[in-house]
Structure 1
């Protein structure tokens, strides 16, 4: 025992030494940054700008953004475009400024400047969570919770505060907006674990997410496409004993998951789409994985979040919702990981495809532009919104068309140089030799769809990749906000007439 304690003491000393060294390095970096900041403020001169207040400019360098109220518990952050700052959701952009929207739960998604954290106020020190139709809160908070969330509640008893039937999702949303994480952290029990599967070699970001999942038992992973979310999920399925459920949006993604589940020889896994509620209702699982979990807050799909499970995981590269229910993505999956992509971009782990918006006058011109683009042969997905449009393009160019009724969708795509796809290709398709995506039709101003379609290219290993959206002038005016989610992540859009 003495030797073990001594070994632990030495290990702790080594870690303390490393921490001190890291802190010293960081302090030196801060000093250097402040020195450089002062030099810039002193050297910058704008002789063409009359009446420039240099002292005010120094203050601007310390806080290069404007925080403005938007509505209750929500703010705009206005940032000059030359300042590399990504906060919350990009709402709109001007030639000079980016305008982001933040609220209290954004702090769980990515780090925020200290000044903004202070304005958002402290995170709650008490606990509030939804369990089996009950709202359970910290001792002494019962009356406050009853009054604040009364419209979702109907009774108090010895077990807790009972929630009105069908109002759990609304209560979860309110708790999140008030700063609570209403899921119960549960470290993964070693007795529930098998050894890691043969061939599972996690990269550093995957190891980080795995460690957080071991710690919390409920994690949402929001890496860019191609960073190995399905790979990690299938490996975890192999590592967990007992019944597992993986929920995916469509058959195409079922095919994708089957490949990885076979790779790791994962057993006792039930793989279903979000339309198969009748197959899971009333069942219990050790683990549930919600793929493309941005779908989960939808009124129809959110009932999957009520399925009993000991642990859970959510995967998505696009945690956006046009109905404003992003908070529920966190509430229904777990501790958020990987929403800030800055380190992926800095490490060049993901490439930025060339993104082009080709603007035409009329819908008729779209087919001509498409024909010109296809003169350069390369592995391509052509996205449409309407089945009739997909069939028309497929007939015109003699290409296969993949849609809801297509069997073996991945095989069709892999075997053909060019494939026309409906919405079934928006999510979960990983085509390693994909070189180009072209959107001829799209779902209005949906930012989530735009990012999902462009992110198909992030799975590719090809050196040159491009995403082209063919839009009429009217479509650009009405639906140009589709590109905001791409610009928010640092992707530039070229507009070509």
Structure 2
């Protein structure tokens, strides 16, 4: 064992307050001496004592003389020590627990770890509720390493070392091994036109590929490391091997499509151009930037860079119309070069916009299969793993581009998105927030009491879905919504609901329109346009506002119900306020003591993964809204 006292080292700088706290935590005792601080920080006892006495003079720590040592030091304000960030790593379980995390830490962790849970005591006093934060537990999964947005494993390890408190040889070795697994299988096109699966070794082909894949995927072996892939089975091969822990490199010679003469008319931001460059290098990928970061504009830049016939898949006709407008506004494409293919129109053009459902129908599928596409764009790509949409992922093209701010699914199939389409691009949201390109939302979960005994009794006697509905329709939410809107009188606000009765009640109480699926399309379009033009400053919106509706002037979102929905829904609704200018506020209202508490935490989890702070507080009976305190 090396004697630490005899090992020479450079003297450290005099300790500051943070280093003093580190020393207290390291000693595991409430008080420390100057010699203990010096030993922990690698400085001299005299220097440590001088610096500690300076901190005493500043009033940030205290000291007292005791019999066993001339002086001991302790924090003047113990709450400051308790409120500090702590990062604890469990290498054997590949888990990271963070207490009181800073935004920087959460943002960096989001690039290589998956948020599993958030924990902590939410029962705070009124005085403390503004500072209520939660601890976070992360897990580093194989797919997190495979999809990490770095060019090589050393970049990934460098980031990990910058955020974790100490290096772990065991954890880093595991990360290296997972990184290597991502390049052990490859699909390529044989000179005779069929597809070949190539393994990095005979063992991988024999013990992994040929054990996991059957005659439905593999026709016959070609060599000890190569197998002939059955036509149309490449996607199934990729999915199966991914699930076995081996993501496949896809180097097939796929259709490039007829050339299309098109240029972008937009000056892309630096990060958008980086997204374009990364996509061109990879030939496939999923843009996962936040709402307001310009994913659609970036997609038009990619379309111009590829310059081939393009198919754009969208979940609805409304989105098809928005895409047509974006293409005309941001590229040199003429309107007659753009076709729409869905229930309303059926035109194939050099750039075609189709709905997932129509493109997957048997009577239309042959038309799309026979076309040579240079690029296929999957808007709202989180739909792809669903059975009704996934056939579209088999369309042959050299370039696949997915778009989604929230590629998460409650059935845990989000990994399939990156398997079928490509690796994620644009995962570092914190850089966009810090640069001011996108407004980081301030997210507050507000737990409300019942203020209507009749409604509470109805909830107590209800079961299943009715129980969730009654909690969601808590009448207290109407008053709280009104108070929040009054606190932001100049804001453009969206109030989201899942239940039609609640939406109508809120719209009546606030004297504003309620936009739902029952509102005719032409009237819905007029209402949204009035909101964009600031003729209306508040809308109550049902699920029709969750996806694809462009309302860039919204600065406040109030989620009054929908808490039984997915993490994706919660992030989409919050994303409606994530724009470059103005303050961005998101309020999530949940009835205290009901399943809405858990739903609220789950819905905001995707935002927490991206480093966005989520503050929780209780609305006490008769308490004023947050707006009056800010």
Q: Common fold, TM-score beyond 0.5? A: yes
Partner of 2:343: none
CA contact (8 A) 1:249 1:291 kept: yes
For structure 2, which runs of at least 5 residues remain unmatched after alignment?
1-10, 43-84, 121-133, 150-155, 162-167, 338-349, 451-470, 531-535, 620-630
Given that 1:451 and 1:486 are in contact with CA atoms closer than 8 Å, whether structure 2 keeps it comes out as: yes
Shift, 1:93, TM fit: 2.0
Whether contact under 8 Å (2:313, 2:355) holds in the other structure is yes
Instruction: Give ranges in structure 1 of 5+ residues lacking alignment.
Output: 1-33, 70-74
Please state whether the residue corresponding to 1:459 is helix, strand or coil. coil
Match among 175, 186, 190 for residue 128 of structure 1: 186
Establish whether residue 394 from structure 1 lines up as the match of residue 461 from structure 2: no
- Say yes or no: does 1:78 pair with 2:97: yes
In 2 relative to 1, CA 135–77 (structure 1 residues): closer, same or farther, beyond 3 Å?
farther
Task: Look up the match of 2:310.
Answer: 244
Is 1:326 matched up with 2:446?
Answer: no
Flag the 1:133–1:89 CA change in 2: closer, same or farther, 3 A: farther
List aligned pairs for 1:53-92, cutoff 5 A: 64-69=88-93, 75-82=94-101, 84-85=105-106, 86=109, 87-92=112-117
SS in 1 for 2:250: coil
With over 3 angstroms needed to count, the CA separation of the structure-2 counterparts of 1:229 and 1:58, relative to structure 1, is farther
Shift of the 475–63 alpha-carbon distance from structure 1 to 2, 3 Å rule, reads: closer
Contact 1:78 1:100 in 2 (8 A): yes
1:379 aligns with 2:437: no
Q: Please say if 1:142 is aligned against 2:205.
A: yes
Deviation at 1:286, TM superposition (A): 1.8
Aligned-residue offset at 1:289: 0.3
Deviation at 1:169, TM superposition (A): 4.8
What SS does the aligned partner of 2:275 have? Answer: helix
Distance 1:364 1:175, change over 3 A: same
Structural mapping, 1:254-293, within 5 Å: 254-263=320-329, 264-266=331-333, 267=337, 268-277=350-359, 278=361, 279-280=364-365, 281-284=368-371, 285-293=373-381
Q: Secondary structure at the match of 2:300?
A: helix
CA contact (8 A) 1:359 1:472 kept: yes
> Residue 334 of structure 1: SS of its match in structure 2?
coil
In structure 2, the partner of 1:417 is 537
Larger Rg: 2
SS in 2 for 1:369: helix
Give me the whole-angstrom Cα distance separating, in 1, the residues matched to 2:194 and 2:563: 36
Distance 1:364 1:169 in 2: 50
In structure 2, do the counterparts of structure 1 residues 97 and 382 end up closer, same or farther at CA, with 3 Å as the change threshold?
Answer: closer
Match of 1:429 among 542, 549, 555: 549
Whole-Å separation in 1 of the counterparts to 2:240 and 2:37: 45
Q: For the structure 1 residues 178 and 368, does the alpha-carbon distance in structure 2 shift closer, same or farther, using more than 3 Å as the test? A: same
Q: Residues 228-261 of structure 1, C-alpha deviation per residue, up to 9 Å, x if partnerless?
A: 1101212333454443111122234323322211
Instruction: From the superposition, tell whether residues 261 and 172 of structure 1 become closer, same or farther in structure 2 (CA, over 3 Å).
Output: same
Q: 1:51 to 1:203 in 2, by over 3 A?
A: same
Query: Is this contact kept in 1: 2:492–2:555, CA < 8 A?
Result: yes
Question: Are the counterparts in 2 of residues 152 and 171 from structure 1 also a CA contact under 8 Å?
Answer: no
Hey, what does 1:485 align to over in structure 2?
606
Deviation digits for residues 368-397 of structure 1, max 9, x if unmatched? Answer: 322333445432212112344434443554
- Hey, what's the Cα distance between the residues in 2 that align with 1:259 and 1:244? 16
SS for the counterpart of 1:231 is helix
Separation in 2, partners of 1:165, 1:210: 29
Q: State whether residues 547 and 572 of structure 2, in contact with CA within 8 Å, keep that contact through their aligned partners in structure 1.
A: yes
SS where residue 300 of structure 1 aligns? helix
Change (3 A) 1:357 1:57: farther
Q: 1:63 to 1:77 in 2, by over 3 A?
A: closer
